Structure 1
Amino acid sequence: MLIARLIADKEGLESKLDAASEALEVKGMRVAAATMLDFCGDVLQIMLPDGDAAVLRKVLDAHFKPSDLLVTQDAVEIPRLFVSDMDSTMIGQECIDELADFANLKPQIAAITERAMQGEIDFPTALAERVGLLRGLDESAIGRCLSERIEPVAGARVLVETLKSKGCRCVLVTGGFHHFADPVAEMIGFERVVGNRLGVAGGSLTGELAGPISDASTKLATLREEADNLGPAAGVLAMGDGANDIPMIAAADYGLAYRAKPKARMAADGWIERGDLTSVLSLLGIPKSEWVAS
């Protein structure tokens, strides 16, 4: 059974569903049922006896864009593990880009960040280049950047706290830095943080990392480690926005791309592009009455 849960504009919903169903029929995929979930009134659930998940996502995207979407092969269940990226996923900024602004280097560093997120250059190279450019920046700039620039995206804390209330362990894993990730995790409610550490000496950044690099392989390893600790029946939700997140998104039971770059979007089981992060709760079938307010 192939199941899609979709949140889209209600105007013209029936006609769009008819058109999407016809397009799927052409590809040999028959819609068996399509209903609005009675416990999440804005979620349309579409069920097919079988078919290709990637084709289903493509057809629904073509007819309902912009949408929030999750496609699964089985009944949707609340995950026991949530692993998320930080920059441009749980917060609306790229920390290193904002920090670079304090060194008057934001355009140069942001350009490297964008190429890495698009998958045009490998992450370790991009990270080393960007961190190197920050050499000599006063460590106090990090605190100012946190207080002046960094904010959680809408719905982040409600998402995490609600999942925790359902017995889900929440882990923040980032290619960014503990200087930012630790306060962000505390603010939103994550239980564990994995990330990079900026080298500091004499109150200034050294332009190097202190300790091993946290990259795409680290994100995947963290997901697998945490899932193994919970046991074989633990459903896993992973979310991110860039090329560095693809391995963990692909490995999760529910891999979601949040306002993501094209390569990450293609690797995911669905995406959040219309609403805020509370849309994840609706797609998982958690009624609003059970959400934990921020």
Structure 2
Amino acid sequence: MHNLIVQRHATPLTQDDLDSLSRIANAMDAQPLENSPDHAARLRDIRSTGPGMRRSLDAYCREHQIDWAIVPAGLKLRDFRLLAMDMDSTLINIETVDEIGAAVGKKDEIAAITAAAMRGEIADYATSLRQRVALLAGVPLAALDRLYTDTLRLNPGAEALLSAAKAAGLKTLLVTGGFTHFTDRLKQRLGFDRVAANVLGVKDDALDGTLVGDIIDGAAKKKAVLDFCNDLGCDPGEVLVIGDGANDLPMMHAVGFSVAFHAKPKVREAATAAIDFGALDSLLNWFE
């Protein structure tokens, strides 16, 4: 059996919402969640999880700004062994390559390439990344330091999610097409067990417009997740992945449970569940 978890973050769920959603999902009953009784509920033992029901459910929830997830009844966070997260626009609030470009007046040019890549419109992610990084030649490292301090912020719920995952015994992986200049600090700050990220070339305390070593594209993200999973001796079905862009799709397809966080449409359609309106830690309500 499966349960349907529904959450509205800005305003409380109404009885009309619960009645409508129960009819759509043909649920046994609706139970408010203890930690958020006005804003979240579990609709138990839904009878169908087919595409027709999901379309109706999604249409209602989008109209009423409700996040929803269908999960196996009894699934617990501790049933997973590994949490893997993307960085840009998932863990943090920005696309770092775009913001670095602002230091040389090229943010709009770079951001257009980034947006197309994240939507899945550019097949060769590695080439698109090299193109963007080439435009960063000459940016001083001090500008990256200021970006981390002044602009980069964790997305809401990030720390709570990671704390809960660690408390449940999960290992954590930050896996990103972004850069070690930021992931090294985030690893230390948040306690990630492992990181996979790209290395920016540097000359005379400024970026030289190159990347050093292998590029972390979609295929490399998938490999990093599965390699860590193998090292842990766990099954890919015991991995929880969170991402937002097309380069996250390979790792999302490879694991048991994937989450699209404020994601591009192509990613949202492929994920097990999506968070469109809420914070990262709202997914904790999905598990019993």
Output the TM-score relative to the length of structure 2: 0.88
What pairs with 1:1-294 in structure 2 (closer than 5 Å)? 1-8=1-8, 11=12, 13-24=14-25, 30-38=26-34, 41=37, 42-48=39-45, 50-52=47-49, 54-65=51-62, 66-78=65-77, 79-122=80-123, 123-232=125-234, 235-285=238-288
Contact 2:84-2:242 at 8 Å conserved across structures: yes
Aligned-partner Cα distance in 2 for 1:150–1:268: 26
Aligned-partner Cα distance in 2 for 1:34–1:143: 49
- CA deviation map 1:144-184 (0-9, x unaligned): 22112111112211211221111111110000111111112
Greater shift, 43-52 or 75-84, is seen at: 43-52
Aligned-partner Cα distance in 2 for 1:168–1:12: 31
- Cα displacement (A) at 1:192: 1.1
Moved runs in structure 1, 4+ residues, more than 6 A?
A: none
Query: What is the identity, as a one-letter code, of the residue corresponding to 1:44?
Result: A
Aligned-partner Cα distance in 1 for 2:209–2:229: 34
Greater shift, 147-156 or 210-219, is seen at: 147-156
- Cα displacement (A) at 1:70: 2.4
- Cα displacement (A) at 1:202: 2.5
Contact 1:68-1:270 at 8 Å conserved across structures: no
Query: What is the identity, as a one-letter code, of the residue corresponding to 1:275?
Result: G
Matched position secondary structure for 1:212: coil
Unmatched 5+ residue regions in structure 2? none
Aligned-partner Cα distance in 2 for 1:91–1:23: 35
Count the aligned residue pairs. Answer: 280
Aligned-pair RMSD on alpha carbons?
Answer: 2.2
Greater shift, 220-229 or 95-104, is seen at: 220-229
- Cα displacement (A) at 1:11: 4.8
Structure 1 vs Structure 2: percent identity of aligned residues? 35
Contact 1:2-1:53 at 8 Å conserved across structures: no
Unmatched 5+ residue regions in structure 1? 25-29, 286-294
Query: What is the identity, as a one-letter code, of the residue corresponding to 1:264?
Result: V
Output the TM-score relative to the length of structure 1: 0.87
Query: What is the identity, as a one-letter code, of the residue corresponding to 2:281?
Result: T
Aligned-partner Cα distance in 2 for 1:50–1:226: 36
